[in-house]
């Protein structure tokens, strides 16, 4: 089969690799129908995270089950499934606590699973899925081309945006600011509105993303950053910061923006993968009773809750895909996101 | 009147000072019936926080209203009142949000109030209370000598312990570890049980405090610290850390203990005044979805909720006072706490 490998900075290639096969009775083989490029994939692409040797890449995909191992009980060939961005067994104490990303048998796509076997990454034609019953979530049917993007967001960005809003305690009437206008930030706008937020302020300087944020339910746009941005948000809210800030970037600057913006007693839902090496200023948080919650999103915990709203059309997060490419043009998908010409690239094998 | 001043490290004196008088129509004058020494007062006593010039000290007291200004509506002379450890107006947006410590007209005892007037501190015979309607909470009657200590804890330590447990989301069935066996840590044990925690593990190496923690409802005691302590807590809970860790110390070591102990997806309620200058390790928290909440406790928000349980005897936090002294022996009260001979010293003018 063909799959994507990253060789180094700005060097993404589609190559022939061995076809996956069942290695454990709890495995499934999934034919990928759609995959995508994550903002966090760009850290390797930009060379911020070094690539020591060529490796498979991609952790968001949906597809059709081709084959299941003898130990798989709840899935069958032909089902259309969503794969969350980490493998989890669904049975350990952390999964039962809803923290599937801390599963005792957790592993990542393109990595080594809990049994020591290599696991395919998502940007390819097929994937061997370990712990298939725990990991994969079957959809009611194969989605239409129109629904496909929104279903694909359940593998990461929609669940991640929801995690920010949910952990930060967004509820009916809340005031919310979203730091970051990438796909996760845009999905966080959807999530905040879905949980009942009355005001959702999207912090964005990019016209197309501002427009999409507004269509997703943002009530206000703030283009300013830093102290000026925080001040502008407070102005919009009658002088007081928002109840929740959803931090969807992960840089030192974006975390500082969240701290400067949230009101005393408010909470920051952090879902941007921390790349700033930053630490949180405990004394500042303490004085103002600012809570910092969130983390690497256990999206597996949310798929069943979010999927019905995708299928009913109540939310339409798939609109973050503004570039759809055949898999053999994967390099273009990375370049477009890197240069911020695309919000998010979908790849079709 | 007589009031306590701190002159420098290990130098606490009771001195003659001017009698307070009403300076603003919203003031009240309170005759102090009982005050106490806070763990945070020891930072000055130990010289960790420098004392540039002699200053009044003490921020926890209860007493009887002697006189009220013309603008005070809800209080009258003769009422027995609890004073929380900061002044707040009760009407600004932060007070309405339950974050009275961030009140727009907040000030501290022994400091300068929002109108620019000096405010007496709590370890004295009388106190001028600014914004009396917002700040003071009247009790149903004058408490008995037996109840006095528990009522006095509503001014700080009981509310602070509650803040740790409440913000960390302790609920029926929760598992909890408490870092710190001072008065706040012991009150956090009470608070966690009061909110329904099933397991409360008190981390303490001090026999008398271990005993009191157990009487307050701790189900387990762990004397070990560091990684060994965290491991011991996990052993007690079947291999998984607690849902909540209540951090009631504020040093670099105690914050690290909390981070090392809590389970993935759990929350740390931080109420120990940060003295470690510490920052929080964002990447570590992020990977395990550990939330950090709490802060300087807005105890004013909790007095009405906690007082009935004190008056009914359902909780008995006043047992943290293991040393009661007349005000003129205030220096002994500091020394006993500094040397850990007393958990908490009560002072009677």
CATH number of the domain to which B23 belongs: 3.90.180.10
Query: Based on the domain organization, do A33 and A125 belong to the same domain?
Result: yes
Provide the 10 A C-beta neighbour count for residue A239: 11
Contact A62, A82 (CB under 8 A): yes
Q: Which of B31, B326, B40 is nearest to B157 (CA)?
A: B40
Q: Choose one of B275, B294, B313: the last residue of a domain.
A: B294
| Structure-token match 């919009």, residue found | A236
Contact A98 B273 (CB under 8 A): no
Q: Which of B239, B285, B295 sits opposite A287 (nearest CB)?
A: B295
| Structure-token match 């106490």, residue found | B36
Q: Choose one of B277, B294, B311: the last residue of a domain.
A: B294
Number of domains chain A is built from:
2
Query: Based on the domain organization, do A60 and A204 belong to the same domain?
Result: no
Beta strands per DSSP E along chain A: 2-8, 11-16, 28-36, 55-56, 61-68, 80-83, 86-87, 107-108, 126-129, 137-138, 175-179, 199-203, 220-222, 244-247, 267-270, 279-281, 291-294, 321-326, 344-348
A87 and B CB contact within 8 Å: no
Q: Which of B88, B115, B139 is nearest to B296 (CA)?
A: B88
Q: Which of B81, B109, B151 is nearest to B320 (CA)?
A: B151
Query: Based on the domain organization, do B23 and B148 belong to the same domain?
Result: yes
Distance from the A135 Cα atom to the nearest Cα atom in chain B, whole angstroms: 19
Query: Based on the domain organization, do A49 and A174 belong to the same domain?
Result: no
Q: Which of A285, A290, A296 sits opposite B289 (nearest CB)?
A: A296
Q: Which of B219, B221, B150 is nearest to B179 (CA)?
A: B221
Query: Based on the domain organization, do A182 and A275 belong to the same domain?
Result: yes
Return the pLDDT at B277. Answer: 65
Contact B246, B185 (CB under 8 A): yes
Return the pLDDT at A49. Answer: 87
State the Cα–Cα distance between residues B85 and B137, nearest whole angstrom. Answer: 12
Q: What are the tens digits of pLDDT across the range B70-128?
A: 999 999 999 999 999 999 999 999 999 999 999 999 999 999 999 999 999 999 999 99
Query: Based on the domain organization, do A150 and A222 belong to the same domain?
Result: no
Return the pLDDT at A278. Answer: 64
Task: Take residue B220 and report the two structure tokens written for it.
Answer: 């387990």
In a mutagenesis test of the A interface, which of B271, B284, B295, B302 is the best target, namely the one with the most A β-carbons within 10 Å? B295
Instruction: Show the domain range for A86.
Output: 2-156+298-347
Return the pLDDT at B168. Answer: 98
A160 and B CB contact within 8 Å: no
Low-confidence residues of chain B: pLDDT under 70: 277-278
Q: Which of B240, B283, B292 sits opposite A291 (nearest CB)?
A: B292
- What is the percentage of chain A residues whose pLDDT exceeds 90? 96
Contact B295 A288 (CB under 8 A): yes
Provide the 10 A C-beta neighbour count for residue A47: 12
Query: Based on the domain organization, do B183 and B307 belong to the same domain?
Result: no
Return the pLDDT at B278. Answer: 64
Query: Based on the domain organization, do A234 and A167 belong to the same domain?
Result: yes
Q: Which of A271, A278, A248 is nearest to A181 (CA)?
A: A248
Contact B333, B345 (CB under 8 A): yes
Give chain A's mean pLDDT: 97
DSSP state letters, A37-58: --TTHHHHHTTSS--SS-EE--
CA–CA distances in Å: residue A173 to residues A179, A265, A294, B286: 19, 16, 20, 27
Give chain B's mean pLDDT: 97
Query: Based on the domain organization, do B177 and B231 belong to the same domain?
Result: yes
Residues A143-182 as b or e (16 or more Cβ within 10 Å = b): beeebbbbbbbbbbbbbbbbbbbbbbbbeeebbbbbbbbb
Query: Based on the domain organization, do B78 and B147 belong to the same domain?
Result: yes
Contact B107, B87 (CB under 8 A): yes
pLDDT at A110 over 90: yes
- Where residue A255 sits, what CATH number does that domain have? 3.40.50.720
Chain A residues with CB-CB distance to B277 below 8 A: 283
Distance from the A66 Cα atom to the nearest Cα atom in chain B, whole angstroms: 33
Query: Based on the domain organization, do B48 and B188 belong to the same domain?
Result: no
A265 and B CB contact within 8 Å: yes
Contact B118, B17 (CB under 8 A): no
Q: Which of A104, A344, A116 is nearest to A209 (CA)?
A: A344
A32: β partners = A63
Query: Based on the domain organization, do B224 and B248 belong to the same domain?
Result: yes
CA torsion A209-A214-A217-A223 (nearest 10°) is: 70
pLDDT at A133 over 80: yes
State the Cα–Cα distance between residues B137 and B34, nearest whole angstrom. Answer: 15
Return the pLDDT at B48. Answer: 87
| Structure-token match 């049975």, residue found | A91
Length of chain A: 349
Q: What are the tens digits of pLDDT across the range A1-50?
A: 999 999 999 999 999 999 999 999 999 999 999 999 999 999 999 998 89
pLDDT at A73 over 90: yes
pLDDT class for A277, splitting at 50, 70, 90?
A: low
Task: Take residue A95 and report the two structure tokens written for it.
Answer: 């999964």
State the Cα–Cα distance between residues B265 and A298, nearest whole angstrom. Answer: 10
Q: Which ranges in chain B belong to alpha helices (H)?
A: 41-45, 93-96, 132-135, 145-153, 157-167, 183-194, 207-215, 226-236, 252-261, 282-287, 303-311, 330-338
């Amino acid at each position: 089969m063909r799959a994507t490998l990253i060789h180094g900075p700005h060097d993404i290639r589609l190559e022939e690799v061995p076809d996956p096969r069942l290695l454990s009775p709890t495995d499934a083989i999934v034919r990928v129908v759609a995959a995508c490029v994550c903002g966090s994939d760009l850290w390797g692409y930009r060379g911020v995270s070094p690539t020591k040797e060529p490796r498979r890449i991609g952790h968001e995909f949906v597809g059709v089950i081709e084959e299941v191992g003898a130990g798989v009980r709840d899935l069958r060939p032909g089902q259309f499934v969503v794969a969350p961005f980490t493998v989890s067994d669904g049975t350990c104490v952390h999964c039962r606590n809803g923290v599937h990303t801390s599963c005792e048998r957790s592993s990542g796509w393109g990595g080594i699973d809990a049994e020591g076997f290599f696991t395919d990454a998502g940007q390819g034609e097929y994937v061997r899925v370990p712990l298939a019953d725990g990991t994969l979530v079957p959809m009611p049917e194969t989605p239409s081309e129109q629904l496909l993007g929104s279903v694909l967001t359940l593998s990461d960005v929609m669940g991640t945006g929801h995690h920010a809003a949910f952990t930060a305690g967004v509820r009916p009437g809340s005031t919310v600011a979203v730091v970051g206008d990438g796909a996760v930030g845009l999905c966080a706008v959807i999530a905040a509105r879905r949980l009942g937020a009355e005001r959702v302020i999207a912090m964005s300087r990019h016209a197309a993303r501002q427009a999409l944020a507004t269509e997703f339910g943002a009530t206000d746009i703030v283009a300013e950053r830093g102290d000026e941005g925080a001040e502008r948000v407070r102005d919009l809210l009658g002088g007081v910061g928002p109840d929740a800030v959803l931090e969807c970037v992960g840089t030192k600057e974006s975390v500082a923006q969240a701290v400067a913006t949230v009101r005393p007693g408010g909470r920051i839902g952090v879902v941007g993968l921390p790349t700033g090496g930053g630490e949180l200023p405990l004394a500042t948080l303490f004085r103002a009773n600012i809570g910092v919650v969130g983390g690497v999103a256990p999206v597996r915990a949310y798929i069943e809750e979010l999927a019905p709203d995708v299928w009913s059309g109540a939310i339409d997060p798939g609109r973050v895909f503004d570039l759809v490419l055949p898999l053999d043009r994967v390099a273009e998908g990375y370049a477009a996101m890197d240069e911020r010409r695309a919000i998010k690239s979908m790849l079709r094998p």
